[in-house]
Amino acid sequence: MHLIDWLIVLAYMVASLVLGVVISKRASKSMEDFFVSGRSLNWWLAGASMAATTFSIDTPLYIAGLVGTRGIVGNWEWWSFAIGHVAMIYLFARLWRRSEVVTDAQLNEMRYGGRPAAILRLTKAFLFAVLINMVAIGYAMLAAVKVMDGLGIWASLGLEEGAQVAGMDPKLLSVIAISVVVLIYAGFSGLWGVVITDFFQFILAMLGAIIVAIIAVADPRVGGLDGLVVKAQELTEFDVLSFIPITRNPAQQTGPSFLGFAWSTIAGISATTFFAYIFVQWWAFRRSDGGGEFIQRLISVKDEREAERAAWFFNVFNYVVRTWPWILVALAAVVLYPDLEDKELGYPIMMIEFLPVGLLGLVVASLLAAFMSTVSTLINWGASYLTNDLYLRFVNPEASEKQLVLVGRIASVLITALGAIAAFYATSIGKVFQLVIAIGTGPGIVLILRWFWWRINAWAELSAMLAGFFVGLFTSIIPLVQIADFGVRLMVITAITSAVWITVLFLTPPESDEVLDRFYAKVRPGGPGWRRQRERTGIQASQDLGLDLKRILAAVLLLYAFMFGVGGALLQQWGWMVAMIVLAIASGAWLFVLRRRGYVDQAANA
């Protein structure tokens, strides 16, 4: 990198820091201002922040690794979450906003009662704020080191491979130093600073991804989109271009067929892995009802309608807009560096090779923006648990708003330090990503059912959360019980966790009528699971569960149709493109009809 590139990166970091300090006064008034922006966020700010949070510095490397080793179809590892994210739009966004909690852990003592609810809230806050969050932050820091290594930044600074500073890796120390900058603006300005910087960071990160994609595909060795499609497949032994691991080519089929379709023998992922992604992962994961930092955004907007809009904004930009620049770059890396041992490094190597002075600095700043948006969110989110669910609830219930803001800032420092510790022990981006999924798999179905079935109790959720965490951890890192096939691992975790929580559920008593009635009156969920509460309270549900389930199906079809339609056009898979256009028109029309029906029903009940 040249001096101009460094100045661009430095200017970006200074701007982020100044913005955080300027906004700090808005976050200093109360705990709600610090952690949920006083519940006054605009929907587009919340949605952009959600999208920016999931676009970390590791994401382009992660996609490059997926495509380079498993093909485009490997992206179902994260595409499958679109089903749950669409469900968030129609099932959960309004319910979360109506709950008016500060964190999702706080909901535990609204939905459940007594000592079990308190134990669950305490356990969840500690597990998510400390253990899971430190893995996630360490994962992002590892990715930052890898990107900067691939860009040759360390060499340009005179750091040789294996060099030590005070017995520690100077590369990781420099990434931690950047995290301290993030800590300063996140700690000063709270969620306000996080979401506003997220908005600009998201724009910059997307711009950087698009620039790299255009320049890489245009290279003569790639030959534009025409050459990319042909050469990428020629240089891989598996089907690198398929969107799904199913084929109609008899010569490439294995197993039973249906209407001429069968599993592809050259698919980049196993059948068990693919079906685990589609039919298990999205509802078994700990964020099946929105969860975590997404919920922090949804409960921070002005009202329920804005929460729904924010969730739609996130889905469109996360799946339709962002997917294809990454995949094009990953395919170009397959063509340009077919012998590259670590496929994840294809992205930063391309940046060095193709980007001129100035533009390289801009794209490096865009990756730094992605890193900072993710880490700032994790810092603020983790600190919200420590402050609201541990300190305020169990240590000092009479704390003043000024004290809570101070504790929030101290907690932010602690979260950052724990993430830095975790980063020293992480090695592979892809492996850590799978670990994050594995230790969070299992409790998802309980988190969904608690909104729609009165019988779910605190012990069931607690047992599901702990069983999922420990079974996921053991089957991921303990050699004796480690399961290599990720799909099989997810199904084993889900099966064992389900057996545990179902047993616990029926061995423990339900929540009291008083607790259930209070929760129902506050949130007013729909469905037959709350019939008794509706009869006792005389309050009608504010949700038509049957209608919302149809909306989810229509919206999932529409979202995937848009995503694969764009992919079909870019990769010259014209059959896919035409089929997806037809599906988009049909599903969009169905969703429009369902939306009109919802308006009519609301008017009738008014």
Q: Which tens digit of pLDDT belongs to each residue from 444-482?
A: 899 999 999 999 999 999 999 999 989 988 988 888 888
Residues 454/516, Cβ–Cβ less than 8 Å: yes
What pLDDT score does 292 carry?
73
Q: Which residues contact 160 (CB under 8 A, 6 or more apart)?
A: none
191, two tokens: 């969620």
Residues 68/347, Cβ–Cβ less than 8 Å: no
End-to-end CA distance of the chain: 63
Strand order in the sheet with 253-258: 246-247, 261-264, 253-258
Amino acid, single-letter form, for residue 384: S
Which burial class, exposed, middle or buried, applies to 244 when counting CB atoms under 10 A from its CB (0-12, 13-18, 19+)? Answer: middle
Higher pLDDT, 160 or 91: 91
Query: How far from chain centre, in Å, is Cα 206?
Result: 16
- Please give the Cα distance from 197 to 583 (Å, whole number): 37
Task: Provide the angle, in degrees to the nearest 10, between the axes of the packed helices 323-336 and 545-570.
Answer: 30
Residues 297/49, Cβ–Cβ less than 8 Å: yes
Please choose, from the candidates 555, 25, 10, 584, the residue with its C-alpha nearest in 3D space to the C-alpha of residue 312. 555
Given pLDDT bands bounded at 50, 70 and 90, which one contains residue 250?
low
Higher pLDDT, 259 or 472: 472
Please give the average per-residue pLDDT across 52-77, as a whole number: 85
Q: Identify the three-state secondary structure at position 264.
A: strand
- Please give the Cα distance from 209 to 202 (Å, whole number): 11
Residues 100/294, Cβ–Cβ less than 8 Å: no
Residues 399/407, Cβ–Cβ less than 8 Å: yes
Residues 494/284, Cβ–Cβ less than 8 Å: yes
Q: What is the DSSP string of 396-465?
A: -TT--HHHHHHHHHHHHHHHHHHHHHHHTT---HHHHHHHHHHHTBSTHHHHHHHHH-TT--HHHHHHHH
What pLDDT score does 538 carry?
93
What pLDDT score does 77 carry?
87
Which burial class, exposed, middle or buried, applies to 474 when counting CB atoms under 10 A from its CB (0-12, 13-18, 19+)? Answer: middle
Helix H or strand E encompassing 263:
strand 261-264
Name which of 9-18, 510-519, 552-561 the model is least confident about. 9-18
Q: What is the DSSP string of 83-137?
A: HHHHHIIIIIHHHHHHHT-SSTGGGHHHHS-HHHHHHHHHHHHHIIIIIIHHHHH
Q: Which fold has domain 3-427?
A: Sodium/glucose cotransporter (1.20.1730)
pLDDT digits (tens, 9 = 90+) for 85-142: 999 989 898 899 899 888 888 999 999 999 999 999 999 888 877 777 777 777 777 7
Does the pLDDT value for residue 426 go beyond 80? Answer: no
Please give the average per-residue pLDDT across 360-376, as a whole number: 80
Q: Which residues pair with 165 in a beta bridge?
A: 168
DSSP state of 277: I
Does the pLDDT value for residue 56 go beyond 50? Answer: yes
Q: What are φ and ψ of residue 301, in 5° steps? A: -80, 175
Annotated domain spans of the chain: 3-427, 544-606
Does the pLDDT value for residue 604 go beyond 60? Answer: no
What pLDDT score does 460 carry?
96
Please give the average per-residue pLDDT across 245-256, as a whole number: 68
Amino acid, single-letter form, for residue 440: G
Residue with tokens 């919920």: 295
Residue with tokens 């592809």: 264
Does the pLDDT value for residue 547 go beyond 80? Answer: yes
Does the pLDDT value for residue 48 go beyond 80? Answer: yes
Q: CA angle, 112 as apex, 108 and 113 as ends, to 5°?
A: 115
85, two tokens: 């994210």
What pLDDT score does 606 carry?
44
Amino acid, single-letter form, for residue 274: F
